[in-house]
Amino acid sequence: MTAVPAPVERPRTRKPVDWWRWAGRLFLLFLLLFTVLPMFWMVLTSVKTQFAALQYPPQWWPSEPTLENYRKLLDPSNSVGAEFLNYFWNSFKVSFATTVLGVAVAVPAAYAFSRFRFPGRTFLFFGVLLRNMFPAVIFLTPLFILMRWMGLVNSHWSLIITYLTFGLPLSIWLLKGFFDNIPVQLEQAARIDGATRFQAFLLIVMPLSTPGIIATAIFSFIGAWNEYVYALTFLSRQEQMTLPVGVQRFFSEFATDWPGVMAATFLMSVPVVVLFLVLQKYFVRALTEGAVKH
């Protein structure tokens, strides 16, 4: 009987370290800390007293945390709370109206650019995008003159119209790319079964494009919610101010209520964060589906 030779063990080779991947991870970690730490410090300052917030060296962790700043902001019985809730409601009205009107206009416009062929289609589409090639601030004076001529200064409609002017090009561009990825054969099959073009659009295209519409609505809402320059220019009456402008009332000539500013800023960010967390799956789905050509 011949002996079977034992298998020769091959020396194990160590997998080379992917330094580029680790460098990318460290860079992403740095960006995360760069973003999260200011938010963390904002929350900590919002639960401090004015004396603790102004201490030097700074008090990193509040020794006596308090929710008095939030109670004062959310209590409509005092002047500060009544003003803050009014600013909050004004911002919500403007942002909600901008989002609804923007989606209502952008959806049919993007569908027309995606499905129809008409003279000047390409020129008109790039003409819509032309506005986004210029900084928004250069339109400040012309738009203010236009709103004053229309009698819309100190009116929320001046902000809604302005935000639509800035948001519609991006919304149309995003939705057109999404409609382009929906096979036109689905609409043709519905037309063969007896549906009209509008019914095919309403029953076939709209459900399939829901993630793209929701992503566009998120962009529109966040843009209108955070805008400051035009709100500061068009609104001078206190009862008409939105949150980004109203928060500056915590700054005075001789003192600044830093815990109050931080609490107001945190409450201002809550609707946007909640909106994104609730609709996150639709937002991610829209980005991933929009990147794939069907």
DSSP 240-283: G--HHHHGGGGB-SS-B-HHHHHHHHHHHHHHHHHHHHHTHHHH
Give Cα separations from 172 to 125, 143, 196, 212, 253 (angstroms).
9, 22, 24, 11, 44
Range of 10-19, 121-130, 252-261 with top mean pLDDT: 121-130
Per-residue model confidence as pLDDT tens digits over 158-210: 999 999 988 888 888 888 888 888 888 888 888 888 888 888 888 888 888 88
Is the separation of the CB atoms in 103 and 171 below 8 Å? yes
Provide mean pLDDT across the span 84-108.
91
Provide mean pLDDT across the span 138-156.
88
CA separation for the pair 284, 120 (Å, rounded): 33
Q: Is pLDDT at 289 greater than 80 in this prediction?
A: no
- Per the model's pLDDT, the better-predicted residue between 99 and 253 turns out to be 99
Cα angle for residues 119, 120, 123 (degrees, 5° grid)? 160
Q: Is pLDDT at 11 greater than 70 in this prediction?
A: no
What pLDDT does 96 receive?
A: 93
In the chain, the domains with their CATH numbers are 94-245+270-290 (1.10.3720.10)
151: left (phi over 0), alpha (psi -120 to 50) or beta: left
CA separation for the pair 94, 242 (Å, rounded): 8
Provide mean pLDDT across the span 280-290.
62
What pLDDT does 254 receive?
A: 60
Q: Identify the three-state secondary structure at position 3.
A: coil
Q: Which residues are 251's β-sheet partners?
A: 256
